[in-house]
């Protein structure tokens, strides 16, 4: 089902911001697509006018990493509730992780998820295909068929591909289809059983530690494997200075290596878990302040290619447990823009760079048309006020899952409205 395009909409007197576009003026959406934009457009008959002082109009955000509760974990979140949260966060395209139940390791499931996205009318879902059957890390899934069905790349979700041989095969085989393999970079034999970053805080709390080196070790290995196979590797939610240095070097050497990070890793450090706060238990774990600062710096120097929400919905019962037993992961759809803008307000990133990290750059990694302001491009848009303030409150967020690590955080940057194919889906 393709939603009916909304009425013509004229955005007027807003800052238009996208890759290659930064001007104050008007933008017209007609028949679900961007018809025109420029310093001043006439108002067509019957067009709805949206005018908002000081607002920014950018492409609908492209979130390249989010887990959906469906299929299999509907008690945590449904696609409908995720779509609601995404719209409230200005997100119009989302790449979904495949480690659901069942895992997205079959072409039919890829098609199903794409269709379920279309049914929402507000969110394009681009599934990742599983690298291995059941995301179990044993035998390769049907990568070619998954791609044909519309998988954007291959990933085992929150599970690291631990076997070097398997990773080599996957990179090599996926290369034949021109596809990337996305790694959760944590050496499982070092991170297994861990609950927090190894160091004095984990020692004080008596929590089993995960050394920061667990990330760098897998990144180093997979860079070598990318070199060996000629394949493309993408590292998800990179969180340590050491891993970022390796990625920086690999890029300088011209290897097909890319990466993303998620807002918790440049906005929070390990102290957020103080007193056993399970909402701040993430995978990878929150790091020391020096690593947090290194992630922010890597956003600024373009080592990091995209910012993804790494949305992981959890039920209250998944979190109301002793820390080591609680499920890792935090929701991130509604806070993706606001937390990213904090890096603009603190001077780390210029606003256009921040928007590119949330739109054009992840769209390019996914190989999709979204994330641009161009004549004829889809009318997927996000209108936000960069200075208006709101406070994140677990329990009050849009959507079903409420497990935010940013509970209580005041954010500068409010989504005023979200449009999908020209139709207003939020605000």
The interface with other proteins within residues 236-295 (CB under 8 A) comprises 275-276
d(CA 402, CA 69): 13
Residue from 324, 353, 364, 374 binding other proteins (CB under 8 A): 324
Q: Does 203 bind other proteins (CB under 8 A)?
A: yes
301 contacts other proteins (rule: CB under 8 A): no
End-to-end CA distance of the chain: 23
The yes or no reply on residue 322 touching other proteins (CB under 8 A) is yes
Quote the least distance from Cβ 276 to other proteins, whole Å: 3
With beta carbons less than 8 A apart as the criterion, state whether 138 and 163 touch: no
Catalytic residue among 19, 105, 187, 310: 310
Establish if 211 lies at the interface with other proteins (CB under 8 A). yes
Between residues 237 and 281, which has the closer beta carbon with respect to other proteins? 281
Q: Kindly list the distances between the CA atom of residue 320 and the CA atoms of 134, 204, 311, in Å, as whole numbers in the listed order.
A: 28, 21, 19
- 332 near other proteins (CB under 8 A): no
Residues belonging to the chain: 427
Structure tokens at 36: 């025109």
Whether residue 31 contacts residue 5, with contact meaning beta carbons closer than 8 Å, is answered with yes
Spatial neighbors of 277 by CB under 8 A, at least 6 apart, are: none
CA angle 9, 15, 17 (to 5 degrees): 95
8-27 binders of other proteins (CB under 8 A): none
345-350 long-range contacts, Cβ below 8 Å, gap at least 24? 345/412, 348/296, 348/297, 348/299, 348/300, 349/299, 349/300
Q: Is 305 one of the annotated active-site residues of the chain?
A: no
Nearer to other proteins, 213 or 364 (CB): 213
Using CB under 8 A, pick the residue from 1, 46, 165, 204 that binds other proteins: 204
What tokens does 388 get? 């208006």
Instruction: Give dist(CA 67, CA 86) in Å, integer.
Output: 12
* 166 interacts with other proteins by CB under 8 A: no
- CB closer to other proteins, 34 vs 214: 214
Of the pair 276, 390, the CB lying nearest other proteins is at: 276
- Answer yes or no whether residue 199 interacts with other proteins by CB under 8 A: yes
Work out whether 323 is an interface residue with other proteins (CB under 8 A).
yes
Question: What is the per-residue binding string for other proteins in 85-114, x denoting contact by CB under 8 A?
Answer: ------------------------------
Residues that are catalytic = 310
- Please give the residue ranges that form the binding site for other proteins (CB under 8 A): 198-200, 202-209, 211, 275-276, 317, 320-325
């Amino acid at each position: 089902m393709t939603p009916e395009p909304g009425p013509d909409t004229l955005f007027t007197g807003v800052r238009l911001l996208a890759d290659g576009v930064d001007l104050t003026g008007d933008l017209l959406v007609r028949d679900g697509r961007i018809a025109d934009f420029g310093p001043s457009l006439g108002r067509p008959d019957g067009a709805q006018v949206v005018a908002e002082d000081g607002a920014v109009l950018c492409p609908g955000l492209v979130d390249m990493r989010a887990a959906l509760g469906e299929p299999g974990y509907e008690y945590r979140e449904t696609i409908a509730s995720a779509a609601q949260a995404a719209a409230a966060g200005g997100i119009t395209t989302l790449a979904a992780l495949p480690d659901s139940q069942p895992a997205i390791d079959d072409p039919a499931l890829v098609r199903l998820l794409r269709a379920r996205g279309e049914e929402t009318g507000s969110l394009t879902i681009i599934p990742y295909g599983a690298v291995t059957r059941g995301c179990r890390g044993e035998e390769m899934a049907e990568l070619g068929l998954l791609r044909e069905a519309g998988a954007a790349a291959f990933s085992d979700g929150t599970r690291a591909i631990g076997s070097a041989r398997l990773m080599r095969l996957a990179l090599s085989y996926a290369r034949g289809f021109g596809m990337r393999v996305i790694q959760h970079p944590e050496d499982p034999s070092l991170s297994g059983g861990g609950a927090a970053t190894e160091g004095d805080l984990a020692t004080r709390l008596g929590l089993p530690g995960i050394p920061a080196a667990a990330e760098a070790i897998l990144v180093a290995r997979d860079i070598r494997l990318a070199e060996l196979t000629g394949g493309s590797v993408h590292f998800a939610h990179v969180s340590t200075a050491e891993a970022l240095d390796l990625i920086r070097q690999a890029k300088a050497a011209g290897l097909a290596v890319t990466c993303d990070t998620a807002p918790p890793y440049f906005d929070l450090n390990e102290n957020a878990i103080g007193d056993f706060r399970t909402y701040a238990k993430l995978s990878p774990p929150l790091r020391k302040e020096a690593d947090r600062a290194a992630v922010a710096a890597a956003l600024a120097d373009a080592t990091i290619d995209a910012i993804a929400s790494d949305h992981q919905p959890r039920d209250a019962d998944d979190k109301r447990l002793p820390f080591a037993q609680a499920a890792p992961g935090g929701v991130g759809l509604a806070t993706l823009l606001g937390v990213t803008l904090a890096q603009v307000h603190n001077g780390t990133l210029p606003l256009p760079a921040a928007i590119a990290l949330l739109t054009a750059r992840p769209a390019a990694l996914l190989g999709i048309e979204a994330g641009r302001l161009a004549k004829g491009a889809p009318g997927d848009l996000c209108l936000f006020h960069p200075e208006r303030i709101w406070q994140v409150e677990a329990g009050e967020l849009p959507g079903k899952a409420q497990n935010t690590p940013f509970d209580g955080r005041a954010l500068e940057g409010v989504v005023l409205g979200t449009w999908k194919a020209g139709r207003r889906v939020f605000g």
